[in-house]
Amino acid sequence: MFWKKANGTSGPESAPQPSNGEDAALDAIASLLKAFGESAFDTDNVSAYETRAECDGWAQKITVGGGKSGDSEQSAGKPFKRDFAGVRRYFTAQRSHEREFVGRSLGNLREAVHAFARCLTTTVGEDRAADERVGAQLGKLVGAFQSNDSEAIRSEAEGIVVVVQEVMAKRSESQKRMLSELSEKITDLRDELQEVREKAALDPLTQLFNRAALDAHLDRVADLAFLLSSSPCILMIDVDHFKKCNDTYGHPAGDEVLRRVADGLVRNFLRREDFVARYGGEEFVVVIPDSSLHNAELRAERVLQSLSEIEIETGKGKIQITVSIGLASLSSGDTGSSWLSRADAALYEAKDAGRNCVRVARANASAVASIVPPRSIVPRSLPAGRPNT
């Protein structure tokens, strides 16, 4: 179940205990909200991430309560009330907005297709009328030949020359106009499709490349590395104690941590060929397409130092960020997946070693070397403990 019954007896400050049938209904509503959030997509003014967060929040309010409104009611001794009307309004409004967004997008595509169809229909119609005019003039010329009247033949021959010239000039002007109209529609559609492709490849929270884009990029780099005799490296980066950060300071603060880490990584990997992606959750991946392992180690150390200098002020205190890094160079026979797995294994070695350090996976996954960070940094706000996964 998505919710949990409270222990103890019922009272004005505790939620009424649902029956088995109500249990199933609440679980069904929460499941539907979470499924809706997981299937969300970016629209013109709401990101998929925001929709998922809203759906998760409503699922919690429906099942276990929460939010300022629920807290104030319980503290005042009022009966616990689940906001079914509120979730219905949110769900209806969001679906209406998504329907309008999809309708506009499909409308643009339909308009481009209709423009193309109109051009074809107009061209065929104009060609048919022009052909009939030319055919009629040719008929007159044939009649003049049959009469053996030289003056009539000359006159009709001059007439068909004029008709053909007019038809060709009109057809050329019409084709230019239609091509211009089609070109404008196709350009608009291409720009719209390009924007959709770019959004599909980006993580909505950090604006880094997402997991799907990373997987495709890793396979390309691995396939080309041996042909180009390059030596690419992967850095797999995990934010230390991120779950405890969320639990202590709240999810908005956790989101800000992820955004600041993403910005810090982009600043440390400014080369156009460097590829920075959010792998998922609090994990990030950087692909360096051609670098010696030693230079990649130095860049990893700079990342440790740079990110450790980030401080985020919150209403509950200051957050200082540290990360753990696993580094792996591409080995002979590696695929994108096996290459990433070796970096992931090195990352877990760094976490087990106490975090805030780099571990390097050699060609053999079991041979892992450590790098001590430039200075020992202990997070002031985040407590130590086992790795959060």
Active site residues per annotation:
282
Contact 101, 44 (CB under 8 A): yes
User: Bridge partners of 284?
Assistant: 237, 278
In 3D space, the residue among 292, 309, 299 whose CA is nearest the CA of residue 268 turns out to be 299
Q: Tokens 């989101």 belong to which residue?
A: 255
Torsions phi, psi for 271 (to 5 deg): -65, 145
Which helix (H) or strand (E) is 45 found in, with range?
A: none
Which amino acid type is present at position 242?
A: F
b/e string for 175-208 if b means 16 or more Cβ within 10 A? eeebeeebeebeeebeeeeeeeeeeebbbbbbeb
The distance of Cα 143 from the centroid of its chain, to the nearest Å, equals 71
Give CA angle at 8 (6, 14), nearest 5°: 55
Pairing of strands 323-329, 358-361: parallel
- Residue 46 CB-half CA count within 13 A: 18
Sign of CA dihedral 158, 162, 165, 171: negative
d(CA 2, CA 4): 7
d(CA 254, CA 282): 9
d(CA 16, CA 6): 9
DSSP 383: -
